[in-house]
Amino acid sequence: MDRLWTPWRYQYITKAAGSARTGIPAALDAYPHDNGCVFCNLIGAVRWATQHGTPQADAERAGNILFQGEHCYLCLNAFPYSSGHVLIS
Ligand SMILES: [Zn+2]
């Protein structure tokens, strides 16, 4: 087994551990909920911001959302293991 060494992720790991609500981008911090899940918090914050006056494109950009479907969404990883790393949730 090869190990991936990704030191640029260290900030994310250490910061995420101290965050009360993971997955919520700073620009969408007005989101008043905590779903207890990084992926549910991310899409919840994006959708809440859109419903409360933020243009959808701006909310999606803040959350690195590339696509929203009825049952899933696609987002970029802010601290990717490799270039082009995307997440489907
Ligand atoms: Zn979830």
The CA distance from 21 to 63, in Å, is: 14
The CA distance from 55 to 88, in Å, is: 22
Structure tokens given for 66: 């590339």
In a domain, 53, yes or no: yes
In a domain, 6, yes or no: no
Residue 37 Cα to ligand 1 midpoint, Å, equals 5
Residue the block writes with tokens 């989101």: 31
Residue 44 Cα to ligand 1 midpoint, Å, equals 10
The pLDDT tens digits of the residues spanning 67-87 come to: 999 999 999 987 777 778 888
In a domain, 67, yes or no: yes
Structure tokens given for 56: 């959808």
From the list 69, 20, 53, the residue with the least C-alpha distance to 88 is 69
Query: Residue 61: enclosing H or E segment and its boundaries?
Result: helix 56-62
Q: What is the mean pLDDT of residues 7-27?
A: 75
Residue 71 Cα to ligand 1 midpoint, Å, equals 12
The pLDDT tens digits of the residues spanning 31-50 come to: 999 998 889 999 999 999 99
Residue 36 Cα to ligand 1 midpoint, Å, equals 7
Residue 54 Cα to ligand 1 midpoint, Å, equals 23
**Is 80 exceeded by the pLDDT of residue 62?**
yes
Its domain, for residue 76, covers 21-88
